[in-house]
Amino acid sequence: MLLNFTAMTAKILLKPADKSTDFSLTAIIEQETEGKYQAMVLGLPECKAEGSNRDEAIANLGFAIANRLEKAELISLEIPEPKPNIPALTVLIEQKTEGKYEAIVLGLSECKAEGNSREEAISSISKIARDRLEKAEVISLEIKKTKPDNPWMKLAGKYKDDPQFEAMQADIEAYRRELDAEMEEYYRKLDAEEVAQ
């Protein structure tokens, strides 16, 4: 059960070892409970991690991604035809067995191809992605983070210009001191009774 669900996305920039291209992966960060966050890469659900805060969850996710990419690589796949304005797709290429490669478009799990070589897998995934996008489009969707309204914010500053506000605050402070004194006296009596027994 999610006690406090705040979904955020984070771009994770990585440069796989011995590769010169940077890749930006999108992750979703969810606060599951007080002090516990979960992070997961969109398109790579097996790449997930937890942390006691948002930054720790993202850092742990970075390690999970690095582990996932030890025997795989990411490439950027351009689809110039039939729609030249489609942003590049990120493809995960992995050698499954000797002489068998698999390519998957991140975020489009049905766009999967195999080949007897890396190049054959890339060629196959290019065709599958091109066919898939022939009658579809890829867009960037920006979701503005909404903060839940704090019910007390409606009252913030409401009485700032009220001439009786300072007097009311003084009354509240005096009443608070009175209650504190009563509680102190109550606990002092309890302690005295305990000692007497």
pLDDT in tens, 136-170: 777 776 767 666 667 777 777 777 788 888 888 88
Distance CA 40, CA 94 (A): 20
pLDDT in tens, 106-141: 888 788 999 999 899 988 988 888 888 887 777 776
Burial of 16 (0-12, 13-18, 19+ CB in 10 A): middle
Is 90:106 a contact under the CB 8 Å cutoff?
yes
pLDDT in tens, 75-104: 888 876 656 666 778 888 888 888 899 998
Q: Domains of the chain: which residue ranges?
A: 1-70, 72-146, 151-196
**pLDDT greater than 50 at residue 195:** yes
Average pLDDT rounded to a whole number, residues 31-50:
84
81 DSSP 8-state letter? S
